[in-house]
Amino acid sequence: MTDTADPILEVKNLVQQFHVSGGTVHAVSDISFDIRSHETLGLVGESGSGKSTLARAVLQAPSPKSGEVWFRGHDMTKQSKKELFETRRHIQTVFQDPFSSLDPKWTVRAIVREPLDAYGVGTRRQRAEKVDAILDMVGLDPTSFGNRKPPQLSGGQCQRVAIARALALEPSLLIFDEVVSALDVLTQAHILNLLEKLREELQISSLFVAHDLALVKQVSDRVAVMYLGRLCEIGPAQSVLARPRHHYTAALVEAIPLPDPKNRDERRGNVVAGEVPSPLAPPSGCPFRTRCPAAQALCAAEMPPLTSMGPDHFVACHFPVAENALPASVVTAAAA
């Protein structure tokens, strides 16, 4: 699943499991993907699908049970603590809750300066100048906000501070873990516009994790869809949204609100029924088969491999959705 551009991150056969009193939680199961230079990969799925666990496994926090994570030609799973410390300088994360991710007793300037202090970047004066420049970049006036503390900020302002902190070390890969899910709709739009602006200006690669496909499509070059710890579809954002080939992806696309309510009757009813199975006891074969309208005996017997469905578009399904199966109104809404 690569093109001529060298990927900045390659994840190979990643597995993450947790042992609990009731058994073993299969959080991430044999996932492989890459992120290319200057690309944003959107990772989407229901709550509990393993998205955030996968993001943390990439960071080795904690390390995965098996698999490889290659960043700039080095396998992070085999690095020492000292080597990981240096690698993490180039991979920064912005978390879901902006209030809990910031120290309420620190000023905004101290929060943004913290990674510069930790890695000994520049002189004290150079760090101060860099902090003010970054705050200005994310839309916060250093004079007005530099000496404030998180309790004095709104949720959107706190998230801007968290983004500024992540940018301080000039990373080459950013991981956004549900960064707008705790914000109101208007603030979400402002933060997404900021991320688009930063992506164009700084040319940073990123992994954008969210449960809302409508949000992911706004900022992503490619989209990867997860279900119960496995990848079920990955490809260019426009291709996945306009021609979803996995039944779970099709249901997510049809769940995107239509701008014209008159078109509601055109939906094909790709609604996901039932409950998500427990990761303590995932179904045999395809993990989605217990909720899939097209499931057959083969789906229970064999795990479907990722199969090419077009240029850079891969689907893990024995009986994929027919191409152009969604109504035109649904496709138009998804692509808008």
CB of 309 within 8 A of CB of 235? Answer: yes
Distance CA 242, CA 239 (A): 5
Distance in angstroms (rounded) separating the CA atoms of residues 22 and 169: 42
When computed from its CA atoms, the radius of gyration of the chain, rounded to whole angstroms, is 21
Q: Return d(Cα 30, Cα 295) in angstroms, integer.
A: 22
Within 10 Å of residue 38's Cβ, how many Cβ atoms?
Answer: 16
State residue 190's pLDDT score: 92
Measured on CA atoms in the order 78, 81, 82, 83, is the torsion positive or negative? positive
The DSSP call for residue 63 is P
The rounded distance, in Å, linking the Cα atoms of 80 and 78 is 7
Q: For the beta carbon of residue 16, count every other beta carbon within 10 angstroms.
A: 22
From the number of C-beta atoms within 10 Å of its C-beta (0-12, 13-18, 19+), residue 73 rates as exposed
Give pLDDT, residue 98.
Answer: 80
Under 8 Å between Cβ of 223 and 44: yes
pLDDT tens for the chain, 336 residues: list them: 444 468 999 999 999 999 998 899 999 999 999 999 999 999 999 888 999 999 999 999 999 999 999 999 999 999 999 999 999 999 999 988 888 889 999 999 999 999 999 999 999 999 999 999 999 999 999 999 999 999 999 999 999 999 999 999 999 999 999 998 888 889 999 999 999 999 889 999 999 999 888 888 889 999 999 999 999 999 999 999 999 999 999 999 988 876 666 655 555 555 677 788 999 999 999 999 999 999 999 999 999 999 999 899 999 999 999 876 665 545 555 555
Query: What pTM, to 2 d.p., does this model score?
Result: 0.90
For the chain, strand residue ranges (E) read 7-20, 23-36, 40-44, 66-71, 74-75, 91-94, 173-177, 205-210, 222-227, 230-236, 307-310, 313-315
pLDDT tens readout for residues 190-234: 999 999 999 889 999 999 999 888 888 889 999 999 999 999 999
Q: Give dist(CA 29, CA 152) in Å, integer.
A: 42
Pairing of strands 307-310, 313-315: antiparallel
Whole-angstrom Cα distance, residue 139 to residue 99? Answer: 18
Question: What was the pLDDT predicted at 5?
Answer: 67
Query: Alpha-carbon distance 144 to 286, whole Å?
Result: 54
Residue whose structure tokens are 């109104």? 329
CA dihedral 146, 148, 149, 155 (to 10 degrees): -90
